[in-house]
Amino acid sequence: MPAGEAAPARTTWREAMRAALREALRGDPRVFLMGEDVGHYGGCYAVSRGLLEEFGPERVRDTPLSESAFVGAGIGAALGGMRPIVEVMTVNFSLLALDQIVNNAATLRHMSGGQLTIPLVIRMATGAGRQLAAQHSHSLEGWYAHVPGLKVLCPATLEDARGMLAPALADPNPVILFEHVGLYNVEGALAPDAGPVDILRAAVRRAGTEVTLVAYGGMVPRALAAADELAAGGIDAEVIDLRVLRPLDSGTLVASVRKTRRAVIVDEGWRSGSLSAELSARLVEEAFYDLDAPIERVCSAEVPIPYARHLEAAAIPQVATIVAAARRAVGRP
C-alpha cells in the first residue's frame, strides 16, 4: 500500500448501505428517508439503525403500513423538489404500490414532455435464503426491469452498496434499488474514500476464457464461488455482474460471450418470462454465431419459495447447479 493511503476498513454490506444513507442525509437537506419501521426500529434489516437519533423524525420518517400511500407520498415529494428515499420492506409488498410505481412514477416525466422530474429512490429487499417463506422471499426484479421510465439497480458488492445511492438520487428518473437479503451480513474490506459508482454498466468481476457466468445481486457471490470450483477442475470461467437491470448493458455481456463462446445465466427469478429469458434473447439476437453451445439458464424452481430450509435451498440456484450448467456448456459434465 502506498505511503499515506488509509487501509481499507472491514465492514458489512448492511453498514455500507447505512453509510450511503448517512452521507446522503448529511449532504443534502432535501433528502429524507421514509418507510415502515425505518426510524424507531432501525429498519426491518437494521440498515437505518441510528439514523433517527442522528437526523430526527423530519428526515427519518416511520410510515403507516400502506405501501401505496407512502410510495405515493414519495412521488409527490419528488415532484415538489425533495429527494426522497422510500424503503419498501420486501419486493412482495411493493405489489401494493404497483399502480404508484408503474402508472405514476415511471410515466409522469414522459407524459409531461420532460416538464416533471421524479428524483425518487425506492429501496426494496428481495430474494430468498433466510426462511421468510413465500410472501417475503421472491425475486421480482425482472418485473420492474420490464417498465420504461424506471432505472433498476442491483448492488452485489460492498462498493456498489456504498456507491449506488448518490448517483441514483441525482437521477431525474425514479430508481429502484434492490437489496438482496442474503447480502446484508456479508463482510469485507471497503476503502474509506469509497464513493459513487457507475450505474449504467455491468462489471466483469472475474476474467475468464471458456464460459461466461452472468448474475446479479445475491447470485453474484454464488457465481464467483462456482467459478472458483470450475477453476479447480480446469475450466476458466468469466463472471459478469449485471448491476443494472434497466437499462441493460448488452455491450459488456455480448463482448464477454464473443470471447468465451458460451453462457450460463444465473437468475433467482422464475424461469418462465424471466430476466434470464430476456438476456438469452439478446444474446441470440446479437451474438448467435459466436456461440459454440446452447445458452444455459439456472433459475429458481417454479414454485412459491418454501419455508423449510432444505426445500428453500432446493428451490433457488446454488453453486452446485451453476457448476453443473457450466460443465454442460463446455462439454465436460
Which of the residues are catalytic?
Answer: 67, 136
Helix, strand, coil in percent for the chain, rounding step 5: 40, 20, 40
Three cell numbers written together for 288: 448467435
d(CA 287, CA 280): 10
Reduced to 3 states (helix: H, G, I; strand: E, B; else coil), residue 35 is: strand
Q: Please check whether residue 282 is in contact with residue 250, taking contact to mean a CB–CB distance below 8 angstroms.
A: yes
According to DSSP, the β-strands at 60-62 and 31-35 are: parallel
Q: Could you tell me if residue 175 is left (phi over 0), alpha (psi between -120 and 50 degrees) or otherwise beta?
A: beta
CA distances from 307 to 138, 142, 180 (A): 12, 23, 17
Q: Please check whether residue 266 is in contact with residue 240, taking contact to mean a CB–CB distance below 8 angstroms.
A: no
User: In 10 A of CB 287, how many CB atoms?
Assistant: 19
d(CA 240, CA 220): 8
SS3 for 53-93 is HHHCCCCEEECCCCHHHHHHHHHHHHHCCCEEEEEECCHHH
| One-letter identity of residue 308 | A
Reduced to 3 states (helix: H, G, I; strand: E, B; else coil), residue 133 is: coil
B/e letters for 114-147, b = 16+ CB within 10 Å, e = fewer, are eeebbbbbbbbbbbbbbebeeebbbbbbbbbbeb
